[in-house]
Every structure is written in C-alpha cells, then in structure tokens.
C-alpha cells in the first residue's frame, strides 16, 4: 500500500511511523480519500464469492 490506498512505514522504524502519523493528522482530506481507496481496494480484492471459490479449489486438491 502507498499513499493511494494506505500508508506504509518501515517495520521497527518508529520515526517512519511517526512521520506517517503526522502526515495523516496534517492532511485530513487526503486521509479520508486514502480510507475510501483502501476500503474499495479490499472490497474488490476480497470478494466473498472469489474467496469461497478459491477455498473450494484448494479443498478439492486435498481429496
């Protein structure tokens, strides 16, 4: 994820995390757009029908 659908920071890097938090506080309009984009991304990527189909395909490989 990036500044289109979410914020990222380097794992274990508190300064990088703080930088992202400060950006979010200072940019509420952009943050709202990020939230909407992130929601739409996950909604499109994780459709329940697709997840069910993928699980069924996986289960069939176990038989």
Residue 6, phi then psi, degrees to nearest 5: 170, 175
pLDDT for position 43: 84
Q: Does residue 5 belong to any structural domain of this protein?
A: no
Burial track 15-28 (b if 16+ CB lie within 10 A, e otherwise): eeeeeeeeeeeeee
pTM for this prediction: 0.62
Domains identified in the chain, total number: 1
pLDDT tens, position by position, 3-62? 777 899 999 999 999 999 999 999 999 999 999 998 988 887 888 888 899 999 999 999
Confirm if 20 and 7 have CB atoms less than 8 A apart: yes
Q: Does residue 2 belong to any structural domain of this protein?
A: no
Q: Does residue 58 belong to any structural domain of this protein?
A: yes
Q: Does residue 6 belong to any structural domain of this protein?
A: no
Question: Residue 40 is part of which domain span?
Answer: 14-62
């Amino acid at each position: 994820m990036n500044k289109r659908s979410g914020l990222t920071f380097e794992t274990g890097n508190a300064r990088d995390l703080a930088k992202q938090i400060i950006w979010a506080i200072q940019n509420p309009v952009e943050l709202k757009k990020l939230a909407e984009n992130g929601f739409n991304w996950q909604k499109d990527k994780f459709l329940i029908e697709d997840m069910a189909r993928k699980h069924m395909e996986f289960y069939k490989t176990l038989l």
